[in-house]
Each structure stands twice: as structure tokens, then as C-alpha cells.
Amino acid sequence: GENVEQHPSTLSVQEGDSAVIKCTYSDSASNYFPWYKQELGKRPQLIIDIRSNVGEKKDQRIAVTLNKTAKHFSLHITETQPEDSAVYFCAAMAGRRALTFGSGTRLQVQP
Amino acid sequence: DTGVSQDPRHKITKRGQNVTFRCDPISEHNRLYWYRQTLGQGPEFLTYFQNEAQLEKSRLLSDRFSAERPKGSFSTLEIQRTEQGDSAMYLCASSLVALAGPGGTQYFGPGTRLLVL
């Protein structure tokens, strides 16, 4: 089955700096890669996703890049703000099946 | 509220008791997923339904776990003879999947936090 690895497990940045979180996946059939943000005690919320026919997608301060050859994808957050502090999960889906999640990255933005 | 809802939000039970959780998906969504999340980890897939049909079960779903979606709308997840290791957050998600299209975006409910004493 699919295996998703996520790094780093914790990330601390200064407000205004950029943050990058990286994930690798094992199943070459995976074709959908969402990123979720989860604040303490709350539900995971989708922040951005990308499908395998696209190499990069951007939404304001958030961008995701995908390298299918290397089987890795990354989340980039620019101009970080304290409200970006949360746990971020990457995930991968092959076909129309369920998501396989990474283990999460705890991002702390220092004001 | 048109999002995914779950009930109860919290459940405390004694080891050996049975518990049942309910999930109400977004109304037009045909696919419903159950995940389990333990502290500090990402959600782990348990099972999913396409309308009322249960299409896949994870090996994490032991014989003590059963899920139903009888009319293709809400779903229930029952855990029989609970064990302390069942303590976790149980998350439900739903999506709309077209017949010939790729998997749809999954929207999560707030979860049911289970504590087995």
C-alpha cells in the first residue's frame, strides 16, 4: 500500500519568513495530493491540493509543488503569520481510494 | 450548518463496553470515510462507503469494529468490547465522486474523541 513520509516533524520560523514542508510517497499510482491544516482540537481543513497532471499550484501565500518522477511534493508558505501556527498534514491518494496521510509537521510562527 | 457533523463529540467508556458513533456527511456527497487519529499522528484510514456500499476496509479495522451506511446518507461506526488501545479521535469525512472522475476533495467532521478507561 501507499506510504507517505513527511519532514520536518517540527518547524519554527520567524513571522514574515517562509516555511517549507516536504513529503514523499511510495505508490506511483497516486495522483492526488492534498494538504490539511489542523489546529489544536479542531478538524483537519484542506488548504490546498494538487493533481498529478500539474507541477505547481499557488493560492495567495500558499503553494504546492509536485515532482512525480521523484515522488515528492512540498508545501510552501510565504510571509508567515502567527495564525499559520498549526499542524500540517500532507496526504496522497491513488485513484479513487482513501487518503494516506503523513505524520504531520508542527509549525510555529514566532511573532 | 452544511458541513460534516459527528455525534457525540466526546465519549468516555469503560473497557469492554460497546460504543457507537454517528456521522452526517455533506448532503450531496456520495462517499463517506472513517479515519482514526491518535495524538501526534496523521489520520489513519479505517473504511469507506460509496453510497450504501462499503467498498474498502483497512486491516486496522478489527472484527470488533463495524460500520454501516444503510441509506447512503448518515453512517455509524460501532466498536464492540472496547479496549484502552481504541482511545483516539474518530474522524469522518465525505466527498463527491463522479462516476468516471478522480477522487473528490474530502471534507472532515469535527471528530469524536473516545477515551476508554
A16-32 pLDDT, tens digit each:
999 999 999 999 999 99
In chain B, % of residues over pLDDT 70: 95
- Taking only the tens place, the pLDDT of each residue in A38-96 is 999 899 999 999 988 889 999 999 999 999 999 999 999 999 999 999 999 999 998 77
> Residue B53: its chain A contacts at CB < 8 A?
none
Under DSSP, is residue B84 helix (H, G, I), strand (E, B) or coil? helix
Model pLDDT, residue B107: 94
H or E element at residue B36: strand B31-37
Residue type, A13: V
Contact (CB<8Å) A104/B110: no
> Residue A34: its chain B contacts at CB < 8 A?
105-106
